[in-house]
């Protein structure tokens, strides 16, 4: 039988002995806006009478029995801030399991910074720069989870020929066309939050906020950078950058030069020689990660 709206309201005691609001667990929305300068997070200043009142937390609340974490987080955020859930792009989630009770953080972004309208449960709602979040007196749940939730601002530097070659879509018949498709799709990553796979030491994803995308083009596909077709450079707010490698050269040296200029570079390439030559602060990831992020 289906649950009813509000059947999650009530207190629970978790396996760690805490008291939590939500009979079926709780969910919160970690909503970011990513601009060229970095990301900001929508935080709620909790009303004094609420549990852990006057701290800053995520909009969210108790899950009803029939709700997914995404449904609960979006419903609660809409109730608390007037947010239109249709404008929110969900990118993943992170679970904090206390044994018998769990909090699900739904990670999402939005193309435009909405002006939140605080409802009764909030003193205020506002956008806080990513690096300023730990400076606020945070709800203890958010404070504990924040190191695993924060997002680092990144410029994607794409070894385009390498990525095009990793996708068996007939690129060998039309290299320029295949590259153009990739450029169009990669531009949609700007302004979004994405998960990188966890490291060997930690299985949790690491979150990145993509502020810029630089696509290095080589060979016949370099014509796209030289012609600078306006439709390829029309990402909202600021441009995708197309950089042509010099004629007759592989793109590697140009990718390296871009990575050296950008301390926030996340280089997309499977080329081992290139990856070994990257400056220490640059990180590399394979084409399969990028291809998995692209719209279908
Ligand atoms: Zn607990």
* Ligand 1 centroid to residue 103 C-alpha, Å: 9
* Ligand 1 centroid to residue 60 C-alpha, Å: 16
Query: Which tens digits make up the pLDDT trace of 92-117?
Result: 999 999 999 999 999 999 999 988 88
CATH of the domain at 124: 3.90.79.10
One domain, residues 163 and 271: yes
One domain, residues 78 and 109: yes
One domain, residues 216 and 258: yes
* Ligand 1 centroid to residue 93 C-alpha, Å: 18
Tally of structural domains, the chain: 2
Tell me: pLDDT of 81 over 70: yes
Structural domain contains residue 23: yes
Which domain covers residue 95, as residue numbers?
11-149
* Ligand 1 centroid to residue 197 C-alpha, Å: 26
CATH of the domain at 161: 3.40.50
How far apart CA 44 and CA 126 sit, in angstroms, is: 7
Task: Provide the token pair at 65.
Answer: 């029995």
Place of tokens 């007196």: 137
Structural domain contains residue 4: no
One domain, residues 234 and 177: yes
pLDDT of residue 49: 79
C-alpha 223, offset from chain centre:
31
One domain, residues 132 and 184: no
* Ligand 1 centroid to residue 100 C-alpha, Å: 9
pLDDT of residue 237: 41
One domain, residues 220 and 232: yes
Query: Which tens digits make up the pLDDT trace of 243-288?
Result: 889 888 889 999 999 999 999 999 999 999 999 999 988 999 999 9
pLDDT of residue 233: 64
Structural domain contains residue 86: yes
Strand partners, 19: 13
How far apart CA 186 and CA 136 sit, in angstroms, is: 34
* Ligand 1 centroid to residue 113 C-alpha, Å: 32
* Ligand 1 centroid to residue 80 C-alpha, Å: 23
33 close to 129: Cβ distance less than 8 angstroms: no
Structural domain contains residue 80: yes
One domain, residues 283 and 157: yes
* Ligand 1 centroid to residue 56 C-alpha, Å: 18
* Ligand 1 centroid to residue 7 C-alpha, Å: 20
Tell me: pLDDT of 238 over 50: no
This prediction has a pTM of 0.91
User: Of 149, 176, 196, which marks where a domain is finished?
Assistant: 149
One domain, residues 100 and 53: yes
How far apart CA 231 and CA 236 sit, in angstroms, is: 11
Pair type for strands 206-217 and 241-244: parallel
One domain, residues 287 and 205: yes
* Ligand 1 centroid to residue 16 C-alpha, Å: 5
How far apart CA 185 and CA 199 sit, in angstroms, is: 27
Structural domain contains residue 1: no
Structural domain contains residue 285: yes
User: Of 134, 149, 164, which marks where a domain is finished?
Assistant: 149
One domain, residues 214 and 139: no
Query: Which tens digits make up the pLDDT trace of 43-74?
Result: 998 878 778 888 999 999 999 999 999 999 99
One domain, residues 109 and 19: yes
* Ligand 1 centroid to residue 19 C-alpha, Å: 7
One domain, residues 171 and 284: yes
* Ligand 1 centroid to residue 12 C-alpha, Å: 9
Structural domain contains residue 2: no
Mean pLDDT of 129-153: 95
Task: Provide the token pair at 48.
Answer: 């004094």
- In the chain, which residue ranges form alpha helices assigned H by DSSP? 69-81, 140-149, 160-165, 175-187, 223-227, 252-261, 272-276, 287-293
Query: Which tens digits make up the pLDDT trace of 197-237?
Result: 876 666 678 999 999 999 999 998 988 888 767 666 655 54
Indicate the SS3 state at residue 90: strand
* Ligand 1 centroid to residue 25 C-alpha, Å: 10
pLDDT of residue 201: 65
How far apart CA 25 and CA 61 sit, in angstroms, is: 9
Nearest in space to 246 (alpha carbons), one of 219, 274, 214 = 219
> Dihedral sign, CA of 52, 144, 127, 184?
negative
Tell me: pLDDT of 1 over 50: no
* Ligand 1 centroid to residue 142 C-alpha, Å: 12
Task: Provide the token pair at 64.
Answer: 């009803």
* Ligand 1 centroid to residue 98 C-alpha, Å: 5
Tell me: pLDDT of 162 over 90: yes
Query: Which tens digits make up the pLDDT trace of 3-32?
Result: 678 899 999 999 999 999 999 999 999 999
Structural domain contains residue 171: yes
User: Of 149, 179, 212, which marks where a domain is finished?
Assistant: 149
pLDDT of residue 116: 87
| Residues in the 5 Å CB sphere of ion ligand 1 | 14, 16, 18, 98
């Amino acid at each position: 039988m289906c649950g009813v709206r509000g059947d999650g309201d009530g207190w629970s005691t978790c396996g760690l002995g805490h008291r939590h609001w939500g009979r079926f667990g709780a969910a919160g929305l970690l909503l970011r806006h990513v601009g060229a300068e970095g990301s900001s997070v929508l935080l709620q200043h909790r009303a004094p009478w609420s549990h852990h009142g006057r701290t800053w937390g995520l909009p969210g609340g108790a899950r009803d029995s029939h709700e997914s974490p995404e449904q609960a987080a979006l419903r609660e955020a809409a109730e608390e801030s007037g947010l239109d859930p249709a404008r929110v792009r969900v990118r993943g989630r992170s679970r904090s399991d206390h044994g018998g009770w769990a909090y699900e953080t739904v990670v999402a972004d939005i193309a435009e910074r909405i002006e939140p309208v605080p409802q009764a449960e909030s003193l205020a709602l506002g956008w806080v720069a990513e690096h300023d979040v730990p400076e606020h007196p945070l709800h203890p749940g958010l404070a504990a989870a924040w190191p695993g939730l924060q997002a680092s601002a990144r410029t994607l530097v794409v070894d385009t020929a390498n990525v095009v070659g990793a996708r068996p879509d007939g690129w060998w018949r039309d290299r320029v066309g295949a590259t153009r498709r990739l450029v169009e799709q990669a531009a949609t990553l700007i302004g979004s939050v994405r998960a990188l796979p966890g490291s060997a030491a930690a299985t949790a994803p690491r979150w990145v906020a993509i502020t810029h995308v630089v696509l290095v083009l080589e060979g016949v596909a370099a014509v796209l950078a030289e012609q600078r077709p306006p439709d390829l450079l029309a990402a909202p707010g600021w441009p995708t950058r197309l950089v042509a490698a010099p004629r007759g050269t592989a793109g590697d040296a140009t990718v390296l030069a871009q990575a050296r200029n950008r301390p926030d570079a996340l280089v997309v390439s499977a080329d081992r020689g290139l990856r070994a030559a990257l400056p220490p602060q640059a990180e590399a990831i394979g084409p399969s990660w990028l291809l998995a992020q692209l719209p279908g």
